Amino acid sequence: MDTRVERIGVVRGTSGAQVQEVFRSLAERWRGSVRLAGLVAEDHGLADRACSAGFLRNVAGGERFSIFHDLGPGSTICHLDGAGALTAAQSVEHNIAAGCDLVLLNKFGKLEADGGGLFTAFRAALDAGIPLLTSLSPASEAAWTRLTGRSFCVLPADIDEIGAWWRTVRTAATLADAPSASL
């Protein structure tokens, strides 16, 4: 029987805004019981903008990083700020190096598929073997597969189901770290 637990969870099946609300709720719920590293997206709050990119909030330290260029009201294009995303990624890499139980990264999207944005934070989590929770832009799935090189668990944007996945991952990690019983 295969009892392997997928240590990468990818949330799918709903809007990015709903995924981010779930991630914010989980980060708040887990604060104090899970050593988290990562970023969740926050809206810029500006009216009449075509681009929904706003800010990334570091879940470990609370820092806020701008990831958009405001092109003004009525603009019909979205212009992501790759430099802001890179700075946010560096903050997560420091959190990962300091030690964490779970990395929560808001989304693997266009910037990451091109090797920018939060790519280095994703790579740091994968290289460290730390469980990872994220969402995935369907257009970036091929780049995601190249980066991870492994299977992952697809999760709905449901706090209880994601919580159950995390408990399974955490239990499996605890069992793997336990010393073997002597015969």
Domain residue ranges of the chain, discontinuous segments joined by +: 8-177
* Class in CATH terms, 8-177: alpha beta
Element counts in the chain: helices (H) and strands (E)? 6, 7
Instruction: Give the pLDDT score at 111.
Output: 85
Please write the tens of the pLDDT for every residue from 1-60.
Answer: 345 689 999 999 888 889 999 999 999 999 989 999 999 988 765 556 556 667 899 999
Instruction: Give the pLDDT score at 18.
Output: 93
Predicted TM-score of the model (pTM): 0.87
Confidence of residue 79 (pLDDT cuts 50, 70, 90): low
Question: How far is the C-alpha of 87 from the C-alpha of 118, rounded, in Å?
Answer: 9
pLDDT at 178 over 70: no
pLDDT at 70 over 90: no
